[in-house]
A and B are shown apart, each in its own frame.
Chain A
Amino acid sequence: MRILVIEDESKTAKFLKKGLSEAGFVVDVAGDGLEGLYLAQEVDFELLILDVMLPGLDGWQVLTRLRQAGRRAPVLFLTARDAVHERVRGFELGGDDYLVKPFAFSELLARVRSLLRRAPPRQQETIRRADLEIDLLRQRVTRAGQRLDLTAKEFLLLSFLARRAGEVLSRTLIAEAVWDMNFDSDTNVVDVNVRRLRSKVDDPFPLKLIRTVRGAGYVLECDQ
């Protein structure tokens, strides 16, 4: 899948390209608004990552012209300014998502994936990762055939990690998904809960599924 990154800060553009490429996307980079607009009109991208403050044309203008030209590719805004009215403006102009710098790359990747996931995820009844099996209907978890005794929140946490297996999930994202806590502070609470989950899911088994990505979050590895 092809993604266009319009970003004038070269370091940001570089790590975005690198990270997204490694995640399996084909990435093109434009350094200013005019070049970005030109590329976006020439090539059929499936997603645009657009910085708001750009030389030439700013992000708003690029988006407006793209929509006028009939391009419907989803747009993810990046900005260092996060005033509420800017956010609203971005959505009004037809932006699809909005991420404030500094952001966690894992967060960006998660949002890119969700924007590209056209169809809603099929409601699964069971998730299988390696020898882990989660029965979502009966809220039952087994590993290597052995029944695991989890609390309700531990079950939610594990199924969230398992559903997004292979994705690095930030602590903020986890707190939001599992506990509906929409704030960043005190994310070591997530660490405590992950540690408890591990003691039940990973500690008794030789194969460790939940891996800590230092400074980023947690990932449930499934390809080992």
Chain B
Amino acid sequence: MSWNATSDTAPWWRTLAFRLTAGYALAGLCLVFLATASLYLVLRMELEKSTDLFLADKLHVVRTLLRERPQDWDGLREEIELESAARRYQQFYIRLLDERNTPILTTPGMAEQLDLSLLARQIQSRPDHPFSMKGRHGQSFWVTSASAGVGSPSTRTDTIEIAIDVSQQEALLARYRRWFLATFLGCFAIFPLIGYRVARHGIRPVEEIATTAQHISSTNLHERILPEGYPFELASLAHTFNKMLDRLEESFERISRFSADIAHDLRTPVNNIRGEAEVALVRARTADEYREVLGSCLEEAVRLSDLISDLLFLARAESPLTLLRRERVNVAELLDGVRDYYQATAEDGGVSLTTAEGAEPVIAELDRALVQRAVGNLVSNAVAHTASGGSIVLATTLGTGAEASTVRIEVSDTGEGIPPEALPKVFDRFYRVDTSRSQASGGTGLGLAIVQSIMLLHGGSVGIDSQVGQGTRVTLRMPVSGSR
């Protein structure tokens, strides 16, 4: 019953198909059993009831005859002796006894069918209650007795005994029992088969998803499940799975783009160092020329080590073991410090750089150096992308309402803005809006990625709004307290 290639090791009774099949079969069999059993019981009850009614009816007739027309001997004889003989099935026998238990009238053949002395004993032990007994030939009889007053008013009391042959009914019930048993056995054989088919049919999409999942590797992440014809729940599973693949594919693309970028950014300075040194060594040069080459090599080496330390920072920030050195920080003071640092650069660019006056002091437990770095990166970007005459404002506020325990830092500029299609990617490593990747556009392209890492380390987030030509606002959000 192994239907799943991956379940080689799972025993068959652990498979979903088996469980579903067993469930369906059990439910079906229970249903059939209940239905047949109740039908059988109802049938039996109805048969017994009709027999009882028949007996009661007979008793009533004989009683009435005895009471109303005690002298109508012929009528009584006809009722007792002839009526029964006329019947082919369900024959009944009546015996009329006087007060001394001497039979007055007896349906012919009664003594042949029934042991009359046994009948008398049974009736005495259970007066007025119908009961069943076996006849001389093994047939089943249903027996009842009643006393009846003779004449009106009654002169004496006779006893009427009626026995009816119910072997036909018993045979009917036995046939029914056999039929029900056969039905039940049939279902027992068929239900698991049907259940198994149904289960397999239901599980097939799951198997297909599993097969697709098995096929997927880093080289064919584009494969997707076609959920056509799937039931709703599984279509939604397939959809979720496809979404996951979309994200995976995107992550892989990012990683491969990252690798390409990192190769570019590492190779360029190494290539410069190598080339310049090689060319310089081709022939003898003046000390100034050597100095120039060495200076250039040093610059490239510094660029390379900055890149390495940024990359290491990002890699470390992803490790869950990275610990923050949290301390109580007056955020407004921190912003003032960053503003002072960039003040001269901003002034050179003709940009006003200010911190907004907050209504209340914002104190939070943060890693001062890291937050300083995050804000510094943002201000550096803002200064680089804001034309002369623009302004940059740093502001911090404590969150309100749902963000009550959050500290917000905003860096807004009136710069050139970021095109909407670039916005989702600005936090990617090495992503630059200006794709020419020229050094003139500045930075390693890791600045915002580092900002994001720092926020994640603090359990916070970073958001960016931008309008081309209007400016950009980056918002940092961090929990006020480090206790998580």
A107 vs B459: C-alpha distance in the bound complex, in angstroms?
34
The answer to whether A84 and B323 touch (CB under 8 A), given A102-B305, A181-B341, A192-B344, is yes
| A-side interface mostly | loop
The answer to whether A186 and B376 touch (CB under 8 A), given A181-B341, A192-B344, A193-B344, is yes
A186 and B377: CB pair below 8 A?
yes
Residue A223 CB within 8 A of the other chain = no
Residue B78 CB within 8 A of the other chain = no
CB distance from A84 to the nearest CB of B (A): 7
* Central interface residue in B299, B309, B337, B338, by most chain A CB within 10 Å: B309
A185 and B373: CB pair below 8 A?
yes
Residue A182 CB within 8 A of the other chain = yes
What is the chain A residue whose CB lies nearest that of B305?
Answer: A102
The answer to whether A215 and B301 touch (CB under 8 A), given A179-B337, A184-B309, is yes
Residue A180 CB within 8 A of the other chain = yes
CB distance from A188 to the nearest CB of B (A): 8
Instruction: Give which listed residue, B299, B301, B305, B376, contacts A183 with CB less than 8 A.
Output: B376
| B-side interface mostly | helix
B310 and A214: CB pair below 8 A?
no
B372 and A189: CB pair below 8 A?
no
B447 and A180: CB pair below 8 A?
no
Residue B423 CB within 8 A of the other chain = no
Residue B255 CB within 8 A of the other chain = no
A102 and B373: CB pair below 8 A?
no
A192 vs B384: C-alpha distance in the bound complex, in angstroms?
13
Residue A104 CB within 8 A of the other chain = yes
CB distance from A161 to the nearest CB of B (A): 16
Q: Mark B412-429, 1 if CB is under 8 A from A, else 0.
A: 000000000000000000
Residue A39 CB within 8 A of the other chain = no
A102 and B299: CB pair below 8 A?
no
CB distance from B305 to the nearest CB of A (A): 4
**Residues in chain B near residue A215, CB distance under 8 A:** 295-299, 301-302
Q: How large is the interface on B (under 10, 10 to 19, 20 to 34, 35 or more residues)?
A: 35 or more
What is the chain A residue whose CB lies nearest that of B292?
Answer: A214
B344 and A183: CB pair below 8 A?
no
Q: Mark A142-182, 1 if CB is under 8 A from B, else 0.
A: 00000000000100000000000000000000010001111
Residue A34 CB within 8 A of the other chain = no
Residue A18 CB within 8 A of the other chain = no
Residue A83 CB within 8 A of the other chain = yes
A179 and B377: CB pair below 8 A?
no
**Residues in chain A near residue B302, CB distance under 8 A:** 104, 215
Would you list which residues of chain B between 371 and 412 have a CB under 8 Å from chain A?
372-373, 376-377, 380
A182 and B372: CB pair below 8 A?
yes
Instruction: Give which listed residue, B298, B345, B368, B447, contacts A216 with CB less than 8 A.
Output: B298
Residue B306 CB within 8 A of the other chain = yes
Residue B194 CB within 8 A of the other chain = no
Residue A82 CB within 8 A of the other chain = yes
A29 vs B348: C-alpha distance in the bound complex, in angstroms?
47
A83 and B316: CB pair below 8 A?
yes
Would you list which residues of chain A between 69 and 107 have a CB under 8 Å from chain B?
82-84, 100, 102, 104
Residue B53 CB within 8 A of the other chain = no
Q: Mark A99-141, 1 if CB is under 8 A from B, else 0.
A: 0101010000000000000000000000000000000000000
A215 vs B295: C-alpha distance in the bound complex, in angstroms?
6
A185 and B306: CB pair below 8 A?
yes
A183 and B372: CB pair below 8 A?
yes
**Residues in chain A near residue B348, CB distance under 8 A:** 192
The answer to whether A185 and B345 touch (CB under 8 A), given A214-B295, A215-B295, A215-B299, is no
The answer to whether A189 and B345 touch (CB under 8 A), given A153-B340, A215-B295, is yes
**Residues in chain A near residue B380, CB distance under 8 A:** 185-186, 189
Residue A196 CB within 8 A of the other chain = yes
Would you list which residues of chain B between 18 and 55 have a CB under 8 Å from chain A?
none
Q: Mark A181-220, 1 if CB is under 8 A from B, else 0.
A: 1111110110011001000000000000000001110000
A189 and B341: CB pair below 8 A?
yes
What is the chain B residue whose CB lies nearest that of A83?
Answer: B316
A19 vs B299: C-alpha distance in the bound complex, in angstroms?
18
The answer to whether A181 and B298 touch (CB under 8 A), given A102-B308, A189-B342, A192-B348, is no
What is the chain B residue whose CB lies nearest that of A196?
Answer: B344
A196 vs B316: C-alpha distance in the bound complex, in angstroms?
37
B299 and A185: CB pair below 8 A?
no
A4 vs B96: C-alpha distance in the bound complex, in angstroms?
137
B305 and A189: CB pair below 8 A?
no
A100 vs B316: C-alpha distance in the bound complex, in angstroms?
15
CB distance from B378 to the nearest CB of A (A): 11
A216 vs B305: C-alpha distance in the bound complex, in angstroms?
13
A153 vs B339: C-alpha distance in the bound complex, in angstroms?
12
Residue B369 CB within 8 A of the other chain = yes
A185 vs B310: C-alpha distance in the bound complex, in angstroms?
9
Would you list which residues of chain B between 248 and 299 have a CB under 8 Å from chain A?
291, 295-299
Q: Mark B331-371, 1 if CB is under 8 A from A, else 0.
A: 00000011011111100100000000000000000001100
**Residues in chain A near residue B340, CB distance under 8 A:** 153, 179
Give 30 A-B contacts (CB < 8 Å), ordered by A residue: A84-B322, A84-B323, A179-B341, A181-B338, A181-B372, A182-B369, A182-B372, A183-B369, A183-B376, A184-B309, A184-B310, A185-B377, A185-B443, A186-B376, A186-B377, A186-B380, A186-B443, A188-B345, A189-B345, A189-B380, A192-B344, A193-B344, A214-B291, A214-B296, A214-B298, A214-B299, A215-B295, A215-B296, A215-B297, A215-B298
Residue ranges of A at the interface with B (Cβ–Cβ < 8 Å):
82-84, 100, 102, 104, 153, 175, 179-186, 188-189, 192-193, 196, 214-216
Query: Apart from A185-B373, A189-B345, what 6 extra A-B contacts exist at CB < 8 Å?
Result: A82-B312, A182-B373, A189-B341, A192-B348, A215-B299, A216-B298
Nearest 10 pairs between A and B by C-beta? Answer: A215-B298, A214-B295, A183-B373, A102-B305, A182-B369, A179-B341, A186-B380, A215-B299, A192-B344, A192-B345
